[in-house]
Amino acid sequence: MLNKDGKTVAPEMGAFQAAAANADWNSVPGYGLILDNQPGAESWPMTAATFILIHKQPQDPAAAAEALKFFAWAYSKGTKMAEDLDYVPMPAAVAASVEKVWTAQIKDASGKPLYSH
């Protein structure tokens, strides 16, 4: 298939990761980006992401903090498991950006961040 850069790419993990890595995730609020026709010679032209939805001020801060710890673990330790299940792990730079947002925006009622790395 031809991608945005006019290059022929195959539907392989590296091409999906390239689309995620080359995307401008900050172009829409909350990373709600549709990964169609992302730039990059290696990018697959139609890719999708799975999203984590959590309130900025959760009603159960302890549960939310545990959920964020799990997702942080998945980003840092789950790459091989994801690949073994035919999922495409997010590029490290994207995961780091998401974790930065968690730290800045997800807080308890007193304003204390529920996640810190």
Give the DSSP H/E element, type plus range, for residue 100: helix 92-105
Scan for tokens 């900050």, then name that residue.
26
Q: CB–CB of 22/44 below 8 Å? A: no
DSSP state of 3: -
By C-alpha distance, which of 87, 93, 101, 97 is closest to 54? 101
pLDDT tens readout for residues 61-100: 999 999 999 999 999 999 999 999 999 998 899 999 999 9
pLDDT of residue 62: 96
pLDDT tens readout for residues 35-61: 899 999 999 999 988 888 999 999 999
Rounded distance between C-alpha atoms, residue 47 and residue 87, angstroms: 12
